[in-house]
Amino acid sequence: MPTFETITALPFAALAGGAGLGLLLFLWTSSLVKVLRRTDSPPEFTLDATSALDALPSPAPSLSIVVPARNEVANIEACIAAALAIDWPGPLELVVVDDRSTDGTTEILQRLSAVEPRLRVVPGADPPEGWLGKPHALHLAQREVKGDYLLFVDADVRLYPEGPRRLLGRVIAQGAEVASALGFLRVDSFWERVIQTRLGAIIAGGNPLPEVNDPDHERALANGQCLLFSRAAYDRLGGHEAIKGSVLDDVDFAKRAKAMKAVYRLYHGPAVFECRMYTGFREIWNGWTKNLFPALSYSLVATAIVTTLLFASGVLPFVLLGKNLLALATDQPYEPVFLTMEAVLCALMYLTDAVGHARHGYRWTAFWTLPLGMSLVIAIFWNSAIRITSGRGAVWKGRVVERGRPKPKAVVEPIVEPD
């Protein structure tokens, strides 16, 4: 065990390094405690299998589920089947906008709509100048719906039978008008387990639910896989036309709701729906490339800060431990105190990752991929920044998006009071 005299005899740079390791030990210990105590999911903002169903009004409101579909031949039939199988006590309709699919999605929709009266298919169209494809498709679809509430879900979403009841019941109980949920993220392949779970943890950890749901806090987050509006709130916010050029339409809706004093809620909702966002490395790489730089407001400074923090907290401890283990194995000089701290820190990181995986229903044995996953997350951040700022853009579903876009203007127009 190193003595006090040994520690104080170290040069200043070494002392600073020790302080940094101490800080990381404290932060990762705090993270482990939060995971074990489940304080990252306050009960009032959690919709899991143990959550009681909040009562719906009687009669129950009508619900319109809206799904955008562009080349979703692998997903659309299961999405529709799950949406039509929900336990909903009031009027229900499902509207799917076929956004110029070329892969067989159109034929599936024609077949299903011919035998299911609750399903209507709206044809998509080329977006006008200033519109992105998804907001325009949803804008076309919402004009055809009649529900008191609009639930926008992606084609890769599978609603659970009681999911919409859980979500809307809690929304009504809390007096909210706009809501979103973070459902269960399915990860079936190796690269999904390596990257998706870590990115999900980073996003959730960086956006605490109490802050997101505080109307006076500037933090805003939403999940475009599941967005719920009362019809009145959707119209008051300006609908998709108000965010027509946004690649992060979900987050911009949350910002707009807060700015316009619409009561907004984001829930941890693993019992609302499940979604497998991407099925392999290429989809993960391309999908997050279109999202991450816009999520940082197109800021290279913010990208540098975030990735530096991710490297320092998620990768550097393993690099330092490897360096000192190599020095030990080759009889080179090293500081035993640092080797001990690095070993404890890396073990703590692995433990926190394993417990977090297990708690959220993932394979805890994937903990050993933590430094690989964090390294790839950092690489995707920079790929997103470089492709967008260089003008090459991100490729998604056969379209190039975010091609050299400037920093976006505010999504909330000035509100002019009538004379």
Please give the pLDDT value at position 26. Answer: 94
Please give the pLDDT value at position 10. Answer: 54
| Distance between CA atoms of residues 401 and 394, nearest Å | 5
Cβ contacts of residue 18 below 8 Å, gap of 6+?
Answer: 7, 10, 337, 338, 341
CA atoms within 13 A on the CB side of 93: 18
Dihedral sign for Cα atoms in the order 25, 31, 32, 34 = positive
Residue 276 · residue 188 · CB < 8 Å:
yes
| Distance between CA atoms of residues 164 and 174, nearest Å | 15
Under DSSP, is residue 154 helix (H, G, I), strand (E, B) or coil?
coil
Q: Enter the tokens of residue 8.
A: 């104080």
- Whether residue 133 has pLDDT greater than 90: no
According to the per-residue pLDDT averaged within each range, which of 105-114, 122-131, 402-411 is highest? 105-114
pTM of the model: 0.86
pLDDT tens digits, 173-230: 999 999 999 999 999 999 999 999 999 999 988 899 999 999 999 999 999 999 999 9
Under DSSP, is residue 278 helix (H, G, I), strand (E, B) or coil?
coil
For the chain, give every domain's residue range. Answer: 7-36+298-398, 43-279
The whole-number average pLDDT for the span 383-392 is: 91
Average pLDDT taken over every residue of the chain:
89
pLDDT tens digits, 39-69: 778 999 999 999 989 999 999 999 999 999 9
- Total count of residues recorded for the chain: 419
In the sheet with 63-69, reading across from the earlier edge strand, the strands are: 119-123, 92-98, 63-69, 149-153, 226-230, 178-182, 264-268
Segment among 52-66, 283-297, 306-320 with least mean pLDDT = 283-297
Domain 43-279 superfamily per CATH: Spore Coat Polysaccharide Biosynthesis Protein SpsA; Chain A (3.90.550.10)
Amino acid at 136: H
| Distance between CA atoms of residues 271 and 163, nearest Å | 6
- Whether residue 99 has pLDDT greater than 60: yes
Residue 304 · residue 412 · CB < 8 Å:
no
Q: Enter the tokens of residue 136.
A: 């325009």
- pLDDT above 90 coverage of the chain, percent: 73
Under DSSP, is residue 9 helix (H, G, I), strand (E, B) or coil?
coil
- Whether residue 410 has pLDDT greater than 80: no
Rg of the chain's alpha carbons, rounded to an integer? Answer: 24
Residue 372 · residue 197 · CB < 8 Å:
no
